[in-house]
């Protein structure tokens, strides 16, 4: 019962202490990477990363994905891969 109450109270305690949750931190991940957050929010983000290995790993993966996408931006994709991907997305209603 005590663990259940603590789990329920944790978001409120974090909010009162000014410590963002993982979900809150990741909601502004793109702004953090783009360096468009205000100084206070950036500092709260850095403090969270200092304590949370999961969010640190997530940030690193996010940054790696951006780097890889930029490196591949001008690459020519095989036409059969493009056709297969578009057909796959169309079959699932993602594109028209």
Torsional class of 18: left (φ above 0), alpha (ψ -120 to 50), beta (otherwise) = left
25-28: list long-range contacts, CB under 8 Å, 24+ apart: 25/49, 25/52, 25/55, 26/55, 26/58
Both tokens of residue 14? 């974090």
pLDDT at position 5 over 70: no
* Whether the predicted model's global pTM rises above the 0.85 cut: no
Sign of the Cα torsion 32, 38, 41, 42 reads: positive
Tokens of 52: 């949370």
Query: What pLDDT, in 10s, does the model give residues 39-78?
Result: 988 888 898 889 899 999 999 999 999 999 888 888 888 9
């Amino acid at each position: 019962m005590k663990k259940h109450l603590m789990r329920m109270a944790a978001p409120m305690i974090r909010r009162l202490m000014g410590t963002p949750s993982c979900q809150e931190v990741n909601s502004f991940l793109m702004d953090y990477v783009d360096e468009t957050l205000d100084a206070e929010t950036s500092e709260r983000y850095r403090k969270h990363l200092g304590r949370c290995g999961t969010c640190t790993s997530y940030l690193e993966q996010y940054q790696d994905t951006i780097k890889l996408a930029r490196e591949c931006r001008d690459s020519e994709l095989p036409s059969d891969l493009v056709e297969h991907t578009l057909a796959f997305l169309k079959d699932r209603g993602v594109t028209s």
